[in-house]
Amino acid sequence: EDQVTQSPEALRLQEGESSSLNCSYTVSGLRGLFWYRQDPGKGPEFLFTLYSAGEEKEKERLKATLTKKESFLHITAPKPEDSATYLCAVISGGYQKVTFGTGTKLQVIP
């Protein structure tokens, strides 16, 4: 069974203080790893899809990287509007379902 573990559970940063969120996964045959952002009371908003180890993707202040065991979401010089819960998810092998982690709740303080 696929497993996804995200750390830390919560992270509090000062505005401009860069950091990284971790997503460790155990799957048989990764087909894709997804990062989503979720604001309170809303559905997850797609950020990135990574398919193979070594792949990197960037969007504004966010950069996602992937290895064979984990993915990182790097946040550079965050702003208060980056405050949200960041979810990691994987899909593997012949399975149809996506397995999510429990998320990292990020708070960026002005």
Partner 1 sequence: GAGVSQSPRYKVAKRGQDVALRCDPISGHVSLFWYQQALGQGPEFLTYFQNEAQLDKSGLPSDRFFAERPEGSVSTLKIQRTQQEDSAVYLCASSSRGTGETQYFGPGTRLLVL
Residue 54 contacts partner 1 per CB under 8 A: no
CA distance 91 to 20: 22
CA distances from 59 to 22, 30, 46, 48, 73 (A): 17, 23, 11, 9, 11
Residue 56 contacts partner 1 per CB under 8 A: no
At 84, which amino acid appears?
A
Question: Phi and psi dihedrals of 82, rounded to 5?
Answer: -80, -5
Stretch that binds partner 1, among 11-19, 38-46, 54-62, 75-83 (CB under 8 A): 38-46
The residues pairing with 34 across neighbouring beta strands, listed in sequence order, are 49, 89
Residue 23 contacts partner 1 per CB under 8 A: no
* Contact with partner 1 (CB under 8 A) among 75, 101, 106, 108: 101
CA distance 94 to 84: 32
Residue 103 contacts partner 1 per CB under 8 A: yes
Stretch that binds partner 1, among 12-20, 54-62, 74-82, 101-109 (CB under 8 A): 101-109
* Contact with partner 1 (CB under 8 A) among 42, 54, 68, 81: 42
Residue 31 contacts partner 1 per CB under 8 A: yes
* Contact with partner 1 (CB under 8 A) among 26, 27, 32, 57: 32
